[in-house]
Amino acid sequence: MIRVGDAARAPSFPVAARRALGNAQLRRNVRHATEVIRNKRAVVVSEMTDWQDLRDSAHEIKDHVLRHLDFYLEQFEDNCTRAGGRVHWARDADEANRIVIDIIRGHDEREVIKVKTMTSDETRLNVALEAAGIVPYETDLADLIIQLGEDQPSHIVVPALHKNRAEIRELFLRTMKLTALGPEPQDLTNAARTFLREKFLRVKVGFSGANFAIADTGSVCVVESEGNGRMCLTLPRILITLVGVEKIIPAFGDLEVFLQLLPRSATGERMNPYNSIWTGVRGGDGPEEFHVVLLDNGRTIVLADEESRETLDCIRCGACLNACPVYRQTGGHAYGSIYSGPIGAILTPQLQSMQHSTSLPYASSLCGACYEACPVKINIPEILIHLRRRIVEEKGAPLGERLSMKAAALAFADSSRLSIAQKLARAAQWPFKRDGQLSKMPGPLAAWTASRDLPAVPAESFRDWWKRERGKS
Amino acid sequence: MLISLFTTCYNDTLFPETGKAVVRVLERLGHEVEFRSAQTCCGQMHYNTGYVTDALAIMRHFLRVFDGAEAICIPSSSCVAMIRDHYPKMAAESGDAALCHQVDALLPRVFEFSELLVDKLGVTDVGAHYPHTVTLHTPCHALRSLHVREQPIRLLRSVRGLQLVDLPREDECCGFGGTFAIKNADVSVAMLADKIDCIRETKAEVCAATDNSCLMHIGGGLRRQQTGIRCMHLAEILAATAPAAMPGSPAR
């Protein structure tokens, strides 16, 4: 079954957003965190003279890969296999989870340490693992905070962005069963380190996601800030990596483009502190067994729509979230998916064949800040409009909206009808009009007038003034 | 020059003073203004909400109405962005070669109001007098699609008596977004609250812009909160010549 976490069961965006807007602490945390990252990003992007060229290159590389995805996937499989890796193909979330569970069970293991894998949130791997009697430990600090708090990620790069330091301290005290814990970042880091180190040294199976899978060498690349990823990737005997099929890049040399764009866009750093790239297995150095699970889970459905396939260009940097004025108000949970913000608004419904999460393409004022920030130049506003169009054409829009749009289209087809519509509006508004304003309207306009005045239709339209004043028509 | 005014559907209906102000400014500069009364809308609302077939019909109507116009002046940056960004794509998608040619011929003749004045006509001082403190909101479409940011600033700086105050966080959306303001009213209003904070910080009396759709939203909030700050289209400020010469525009 194709699945994007629990998105199919999530409330619609306006409902979830309303709940988020009422959470003052969350809004404060989200605003502060996005502001910090945005400012850092602006500095390290402004120092690049070829930033726009890099964006173009990245877009072209991704476009090329998507046109020849079959070729590059097989090339990756050949080269990874030759280097001693084992490549598995998973059509959907359930199949991927089953493959992972079978590998772990095959070694009689009951625990796994995990890092940098949103894709496994997409497949709900942790739920499947626990059902199979296997205990997953998240080791990325933010993912650990989410796991301990039985919470949901709210940002693509900074999943615990909605939590502040005081909240994290309380969480650690409670869930790690500590008697004392200082308030400083150093104290929190030390607590997490003590908690995780023991697992790094004990657990035999590691699990990761991938930022890039490189076709011409069969290598996998993971970038991170903490080094916990490096531990997961090197200490366990068995390593399993789950990779969405769109993560393929043709050549090792292409990293030159992406490793300049990604850290600057994601965390405002010139380079990630840890860049792990590995190829298959090597005796006496790192894992003895390496599995790659290539996941489709709706990606080839997205690929089939030429108008919106560039959604798959995404390198999960989260720059569009930080730039988005909607995300900054609501945070990520309102999007009902692990993929939040503008990219989530286009990716989540498409992965689910536009059967679920169809309120998301409307969760944008189309201001364009996301497109401007995107390091791989995904034209998110265009795709949002395209998805709205698909919803309308599949009769998914509300009846009231369809009728209003039809009526407006009829009025706009002929200026004499527009004139009549103006006169009708002028006549119909009189019970609501006060001082030239409409402050309390019924129907869909109530959503506007609940917090904003609406100007009343004035006595004379421009066209009537022109006719009267200039005598032409 | 004979300039054809496309006042836009919502200015025609809700903000007639803006169209009148454009006529006054252009005529004062010695140009002739025509109003082709068969005009209606550019199709933006339909297009952005996903009603592309309807938008295409509206686009065809627009092209018929403005066929042969020398220069088309539009006092709404989002409508200009609709025409520039989406008409070529819609025409190409229709598979109608004649329509593509019509759009190609149209685009170089379409100007946003401040763009027409500054870039096409080379004017920054239009002889306006407006002794008030003004801050300028830059609509997202003007900023990111048309790249019209400096033109309104240069025009406002040349207005006698006017004090222009920078708006903090000017690149942030006010939360209007067309049907977004209704479909996601709560988020839209939260965004508006931030915008109003920034506007109040300037201590300006008037918030100006090149687009009445943002101003309808911002002004609706400013008014509901009884802030005493007015919104005004750039054209109405530029049309003002003497304190008493310009009839008072309704606040919004």
Alpha-carbon span B119 to B133, nearest angstrom: 25
Task: Among A19, A31, A367, pick the best mutation site for testing chain B contact (most B Cβ within 10 A).
Answer: A367
For B81, the 3-state DSSP assignment is helix
pLDDT for residue A250: 98
B189-204 pLDDT tens trace? 999 999 999 999 999 9
- The answer on pLDDT for B249 being more than 90 is no
Q: Please judge whether B13 and A457 are an interchain contact, meaning their C-beta atoms are less than 8 angstroms apart.
A: yes
Q: What mean pLDDT is predicted for residues A328-357?
A: 97
In this predicted structure, what is the pLDDT of residue B247?
A: 56
pLDDT at A464 over 60: yes
The predicted-structure confidence for A347-384, as pLDDT tens digits, reads as follows 999 999 999 999 999 999 999 999 999 999 999 999 99
**Closest Cα in chain B to A386:** B50
Confidence of residue B243 (pLDDT cuts 50, 70, 90): low
Please count the residue pairs, one from chain A and one from chain B, whose beta carbons lie less than 8 angstroms apart: 196
Alpha-carbon span B140 to B142, nearest angstrom = 5
The Cα of B129 is separated from the nearest Cα of chain A by a number of Å equal to 24
- Say if CB A4 and CB A355 are below 8 A apart: no
Evaluate whether A262 touches A315 at the Cβ level (below 8 Å): yes
**Residue among A30, A55, A131, A71 nearest A334 (CA):** A30
pLDDT over 60 at A201, yes or no: yes
Side-chain half-sphere CA neighbours of A455 within 13 A: 25
Among B73, B1, B64, CA closest to B35? B73
The gap between the terminal CA atoms of chain B, to the nearest Å, is 33
Q: Cα–Cα distance between B55 and B46 in angstroms, integer?
A: 5
Instruction: Output the pLDDT for position A471.
Output: 78
Q: Are B229 and B205 in contact (CB under 8 A)?
A: yes
Q: Which amino acid is present at A310?
A: E
Amino acid identity of residue A389, one-letter, is: R
DSSP string, A76-118: HHHHHHHTT-EEEEESSHHHHHHHHHHHHHHTT--EEEEES-S
Is the CB of residue B152 less than 8 Å from the CB of residue B114?
Answer: yes
* Separation between Cα atoms, residue B128 and residue A257, nearest integer Å: 51
- For A36-55, write each residue's pLDDT tens digit: 999 999 999 999 999 999 99
Q: What is the pLDDT of residue A395?
A: 87
Of A18, A437, A463, the CB nearest to B223: A437
CB A463 to CB B216 under 8 A? no
- The minimal CB distance from A391 to the residues B50, B176, B220 is found for B50
Q: How far apart are CA A267 and CA A258, in angstroms?
A: 14
pLDDT (0 to 100) of residue A473? 46
- For residue B242, the model assigns a pLDDT of 73
pLDDT in tens, A82-118: 999 999 999 999 999 999 999 999 999 999 999 989 9
Q: How far apart are the first and last CA of chain A?
A: 62
The torsion angles phi and psi of B244, rounded to 5 degrees, stand at -105, -5
Q: Is the pLDDT of residue B245 over 50?
A: no
Option in A385, A412, A473 nearest B50 (CB)? A385
pLDDT for the residue numbered B244: 55
The token pair at A237 is 């005997």
pTM of the model: 0.96
Contacts of B159 (CB under 8 A, 6+ apart): B128, B129, B130, B237, B238
Of B39, B188, B192, the CB nearest to A415: B39
Chain A contact present for B139, CB below 8 A: no
For residues B165 and B134, the answer to whether their CB atoms sit within 8 Å is yes
Give the number of other CB atoms < 10 A from CB of residue B189. Answer: 23
Cβ of B54 within 8 Å of Cβ of A397? The answer is no
Element (H, E) at A290: strand A289-295
In tens, the pLDDT along B143-154 reads 999 999 999 999
Q: CB of A140 within 8 A of CB of A229?
A: yes
- Give CA–CA dist B149/B166, Å, rounded: 12
Is the per-residue pLDDT at B246 higher than 60?
Answer: no
CA A325 and chain centroid, separation? 15
Q: Which residues contact A77 (CB under 8 A, 6 or more apart)?
A: A87, A218, A294
Which tens digits make up the pLDDT trace of B79-125? 999 999 999 999 999 999 999 999 999 999 999 999 999 999 999 99
Average pLDDT for A137-159: 95
Distance CA A112, CA B242 (A): 77
Backbone CA torsion sign across B139, B141, B145, B148: negative
Contacts of B238-247 spanning 24+ positions with Cβ under 8 A:
B238/B21, B238/B25, B238/B117, B238/B126, B238/B128, B238/B155, B238/B159, B239/B20, B239/B21, B239/B22, B239/B24, B239/B25, B239/B128, B240/B128, B240/B129, B240/B130, B241/B28, B241/B127, B241/B128, B241/B129, B242/B129, B243/B129, B243/B131
Distance CA A372, CA A375 (A): 8
Of A424, A467, A102, A438, whose CA–CA distance to B216 is shortest? A438
Tell me the sheet residues that pair with A268. none
CA distances from A202 to A106, A113, A241, A242, B79 (A): 18, 10, 19, 22, 63
CB within 8 Å: B177 and A463: no
SS3 A205: strand
Q: What is the mean pLDDT of residues A174-201?
A: 95
Q: How many Å apart are CA A446 and CA B135, to the nearest integer?
A: 29
Contact A423/B at CB under 8 A: no
Q: pLDDT by residue (tens digit) across A16-38?
A: 999 999 999 999 999 999 999 99
Contact B145 A412 (CB under 8 A): no
Q: Are strands A248-249 and A212-214 parallel, antiparallel or unpaired?
A: parallel
Q: Which tokens in the block code for residue A234?
A: 């090197």
Q: Output the pLDDT for position A472.
A: 53
Q: How far is CA A4 from CA A104, A308, B170, in A?
A: 23, 18, 36
Q: A387-429, pLDDT tens digit by residue?
A: 999 999 998 999 999 999 999 999 999 999 999 999 999 999 9
Q: How far is CA A265 from CA A313, A375, B97, B125, in A?
A: 14, 7, 41, 41
Write the DSSP assignment of A215-241 as a string of letters: TTTTEEEEEESSSHHHHHHHSSSEEEE
Angle ∠(A230,A29,A36) on CA atoms, nearest 5: 65
